[in-house]
Amino acid sequence: MRRYWRLIGIFAASSISAQLEYRANFVVNVVGSLLTALGSLFGLSILLGTGSSLGGWNQLEAIVVVGVFTLVEGFMGVFLYPNLNKIAESVRTGSMDFTLLKPLDAQFLVSFRNIGILRVTDLLIGLGMIVYATAHLGSSSASGVLTAALLIVAGFASVYAIWLMLCTTAFWWIGVENITELFWGFFRAGQFPVTAFPGWGRILFTFVIPVAFITTVPAEALVGRVEIGAVFGALGVSLLLIVISRVFWRFALRGYTSASS
Amino acid sequence: MIEVTGLEKHYTVAEKEPGLSGSIRSFFSRKSKTVKAVDGVSFSIASGEMVGFLGANGAGKTTTLKMLSGLLHPTAGTATVAGFTPFERRASFLKTITLVMGQKQQLLWDLPALDSFQVNRAIYEISDADYAATMLEFTELLDLEGILKKQVRKLSLGERMKCELAAALLHRPKVLFLDEPTIGLDVNMQVRIREFVAAYNARFNATVILTSHYMADVTALCKRIIVVDKGRIIFDGDLSALIEQSSPAKIVKLQLESSVSREHLETYAPVQRLDGLFAELLVPRAETSRVSGRLLSELPVADVTIEDPDIEEIIGQLFQSQRVQPLPTLESVTQ
């Protein structure tokens, strides 16, 4: 286990150095991230300026949901995009062979090899929004915050598992670089509390694509109104997804015939 | 070290008619057919042996190497490498082998090769002492001084290949699968890479399977060759035996000081070519030294060279004449 943590550190260091190679790109990305954050805060201020409530959530509570959403978005940008979205490319070019030749779990290697350091700003902005809103709400307890932290980690795991399964299809369907857009389309719904949707939407985003467990439920824990059933639901879903994605990955690997040269 | 019995690999490949209409048709219904990339291959390679794998493009060389390194499951047959079954891909197996593919690269494009080495060092759990010793050795053998700290994207093809080799051998594998390691390199660099492989083999008693389009790679490194065609082995044995069997004569090239008639030359050996003062004689292998001795003492010879016939020609003949039949081995002659 310690070995794996050490490897993540080494991978991150080399990945960050590679990104620092292109100074202009680095600066452009940092500026871009800040502008995006400003834009979403501006949009939020319009939404909240009316003083209405959104599916039973008041303004500050809604900011918590957006904060969790932004945090998960940051997680995707930092950890998922630069790694899992490369699976399709490396299957196509055959460089997946080098990954499979390493005496390490291949899933670990494809999952942690890179880090999108430029998107760390999203993580910070999401965290900032959560801290700001919960502090002003004053309704969250220590146990609520701990539960929320656990649920956010579970949410990351769920997103990772879904993402991995989508990217793993590249072993059969070569050239599916953009397949994660499928999930992204649905995930955007996660920036609103799930209760804001009509009945069918709530069912869809809870049981079919578990977006509710990823953003709404952790936010509920933060504002201190989560139900214990939802907590276990979120944890169970994430565990189940992780297991299924692992099985799926191994199945895909068995069927993998590398691009012959 | 390597045992292969009846190894087979069949691929299903999609077929497409040319042009846009073909593409549209194939988008909706893919036609496919099974290709036997490797079709019943058996051989055995001893520890420390260097074997050349020859064959045209698509003959099944790379597919065989991929099965031996655990990247592909065989459709049928068995393979054992260093006591492991490759496709189980155990960590201890992967630490004893390496696969170098001349057309693909594993080095991090934007970083100096040293950064890639550090990553591999961590992945393979190479101790500090071993790493330092290996680096020292490789730096000298491959002349890496000065190129390790340059970004890989700024290296020449040859420099990059040297770094690729070093990265692939950092963990000192006992079994090397080298797939076209010299492709696209100039002659000097080819020689350099060859010398390195030979030195590595001698130093670590490593087993090497080498495929190459350049016959010189194979003749310089490998005593034994395996020739594959259409997924089958058509020759497996000594390179020199192959040369002896398919062309029992050596070529003696004479540079004469004054002209000698063709008839007179024919009394020594069959004349392949006579062009003014230059002559080529086909001398039976066993008589090479006796005949050339006589030539030197009896004729006005300015210079003499004795050569084997061009190996590429021999292999070419092999492809044409011996498609499936392996060459008779020496034992069968005595029957």
Res. A52 pLDDT band, cuts 50 70 90: low
pLDDT in tens, B225-263: 998 888 899 889 888 887 777 777 888 888 888 888 888
Fold designation for B2-242: Rossmann fold (3.40.50)
pLDDT in tens, B84-131: 999 888 999 999 999 999 888 889 888 999 999 999 999 999 999 999
What are the structural domain ranges in chain A? 51-112+119-254
Q: Is the pLDDT of residue B317 over 80?
A: no
What mean pLDDT do residues A209-232 have? 87
Q: In terms of Cα–Cα distance, which of B237, B183, B180 is closest to B62?
A: B180
Q: In terms of Cα–Cα distance, which of A76, A252, A237 is closest to A158?
A: A237
Spell out the CATH class of B248-307.
alpha beta
Residue B327 backbone class (left: φ over 0; alpha: ψ -120 to 50; beta: rest): beta
CA–CA separation, B3 and B42 (whole Å)? 8
What mean pLDDT do residues B305-317 have? 76
**CA distances in angstroms from A97 to A110, B7, B92, B173, listed in the order given:** 12, 20, 17, 17
Most confidently predicted of A40-44, A115-119, A146-150, A172-176: A146-150
Q: What pLDDT, on a 0 to 100 scale, did the predictor assign at position A50? A: 64
Average pLDDT, chain A: 85
Q: What pLDDT, on a 0 to 100 scale, did the predictor assign at position A55? A: 72
- A8 to chain B, minimum CA–CA distance in Å? 10
What mean pLDDT do residues A17-29 have? 82
Q: Which residue of A has its CA nearest to B107?
A: A98
Q: Which amino acid is at B216?
A: A
Res. A259 pLDDT band, cuts 50 70 90: very low
CB of B174 within 8 A of CB of B84?
no
pLDDT in tens, A178-208: 777 778 878 877 777 887 788 888 888 877 7
Q: Is the pLDDT of residue B132 over 80?
A: yes
- A5 to chain B, minimum CA–CA distance in Å? 11
Within 18-57 of A, beta carbons closer than 8 Å to B belong to 18, 21-22
Q: Which residue of B has its CA nearest to A93?
A: B104
Residue that has been written with the tokens 């190894």 in this structure = B7
Interface predicted TM-score of the whole assembly (ipTM), two decimals: 0.80
CA–CA separation, A105 and B122 (whole Å)? 14
Q: At what angle do helices B157-169 and B187-204 cross, to 10 degrees?
A: 10
* CB-CB under 8 Å, A261 with B62: yes
Q: What pLDDT, on a 0 to 100 scale, did the predictor assign at position A201? A: 80
